[in-house]
Amino acid sequence: MESGLIIHLFKSYVNYNITKMKIAYVYDAVYPWIKGGIEKRIYEIGRRLVSKGYDVHWFGIGWWGNREHDLDGIKLHPVCKSQKLYVGDRRSIKEAVFFALNLLTKLFKYDLDVIDCQVFPYFPTFPSNLYTLIRQKRLILTWHEVWQDYWYEYMGLKGFFGKVVENLTARIKCDFIAVSERTLRDLTLIGIDNVKLIPNGIDFEKIRQIEPATLKSDIIFAGRLIKDKNVDLLLKAIRILKDEIGNLTCLIIGDGPERDKLCRLALELNLDKNVRFLNFLEYDTLISLMKSSKVFVLPSTREGFGIIALEANACGLPVVTVRHRRNAVTELVRKGCGLLCDLNAKDLAEKITIAIKKRKHIKKRCIEHARKYDWNRIVELIVNLYEGKCYPPDEG
C-alpha cells in the first residue's frame, strides 16, 4: 500500500515537472506562413513536445495578426507586425534588428525555462541571452550555418560587420546545437567545442502514406528560387539532356526573386515543352509529385541541411546535388543516396542520367536512409538535451 502510494506520488511529481517546463523557440519566420527548413524544424519538434506534456512557445513575427495564436498546441507570440523578410535575394537587416529590439520586452512577460534561439539572423540571440542571464534560465543556440568569410561574398565589404556579429554570437556562453556535420565542423574551427549534433528530420510515416501523383516527371526540383540554388544550371543541363534523350520532363516548384529570369531562360533554351514551373505547393501535393518523379535535383551551393533532399530520399528518389563546401546536402548524398556533380551544366547532365538509370537499384537504400531521420527520433535527442540527460551516441 505504501509503496504504491510512493510510486503514484513520484509519477505525479515527474509529470508535474514535465508539464511545467516552458520551452520557447525564437525565430522571426513562422510556419506555415513561411515555409522553410528552420520553420519546419521548430514546428515539427514543437508539436511533438506538446504531445509529451511540455509547454511550448514560439516568439516570431505576427504573420497571423497581433494576438497570441495556437498552432497545434504551440503558443505563438507576435513579437511585431508583419515585416519584409527579404530585400531582393538577401535577408533584411532592418527586419532582423527591428525584431530583436521588440523581442526583449515580449520575452520578459513570460517565465520561461529554456530558450532555443535559432542563430540566424543573429540579432535575436542577444536579447535571448540577456533574458536568460537576468532570469538565470537556460539558453540554447541552434546553428544552421556558419558563414565567416562567406559574409564578404554575400554583402561585399559590409560583410565585415556580419562576420563580427557572427563571432560575437559564437562567444555567448550557452549550449549549442548544430543541425549538420558540416556546421559542427565549422563551429569547431572557430573555437566552439560544446556543440551537440541534432539534425533536422522528416515525417517519415506521413510521407510513406501519400500516394504518387498522376502528373509524372523525369526530374523535380523544389525550393526558393534564389541565386544560390543555381536553377539556371539545371535548365542548361536539361537543354543538354534534351538533345541526347529527347522527350524529357522537369518540374520546378517554388518561388523567389529569380523566377522571372528563370522562366525567360527556359524559353530562350526552347524548353517550354520540357519544363513546367509551379508555385510553392501544399506538402502532400509536393510529396505526391516527388513520388511520381525519377530523380530530385538540388544544384545548390549553400544548404544548411536540406530537409527537402531527405524527403526526396524517403520518396525513393536519388538526389543529385553540387559538390561544394557550403552545401550540407553532400553529407546525405555521400551515404549512397544520390550523386555529386561539379558546378557546371555538362557534369550535372551526366549525373542526372546516371541517377535515372540507377534509381531502381538504390530506391530501397534511399528510403532506409531517410527513415533514420524521422522527427520522433530527433525529438528524443532534443528532450535529452533540454532535460540535461545523457546524450546518446549518433546511430548514423
Q: Mean per-residue pLDDT for 109-137?
A: 97
Residues 212, 291 contacting (CB under 8 angstroms): yes
Q: For the chain, list the strands marked E by DSSP.
A: 22-26, 55-60, 69-71, 74-78, 86-87, 90-91, 114-118, 138-143, 175-178, 195-197, 219-222, 250-253, 275-278, 295-298, 319-322, 338-341
Whether residue 253 has pLDDT greater than 60: yes
Query: What's the CA gap between 164 and 158, in Å, rounded?
Result: 10
Cα–Cα nearest to 99, from 52, 165, 29, 168: 29
Whether residue 124 has pLDDT greater than 80: yes
Residues 78, 68 contacting (CB under 8 angstroms): yes
Whether residue 17 has pLDDT greater than 70: no
Phi, psi of 176 (to 5 degrees): -120, 145
Of 4-13, 181-190, 379-388, minimum mean pLDDT range: 4-13
| 79 C-beta neighbours (distance < 10 Å), count | 25
Strands 319-322 and 338-341: parallel
**Domains of the chain (ranges, CATH numbers):** 2-201+375-387 (3.40.50.2000), 204-371 (3.40.50.2000)
Q: Mean per-residue pLDDT for 135-161?
A: 94
pLDDT in tens, 196-248: 999 999 999 999 999 999 999 999 999 999 999 999 999 999 999 998 887 89
Query: What's the CA gap between 172 and 389, in Å, rounded?
Result: 22
- According to the model, what pLDDT value does residue 86 have? 87
| SS3 category, 275 | strand
Residues 218, 250 contacting (CB under 8 angstroms): yes
Q: What is the DSSP letter of 23?
A: E
pTM of the model: 0.85
Residues 264, 231 contacting (CB under 8 angstroms): no
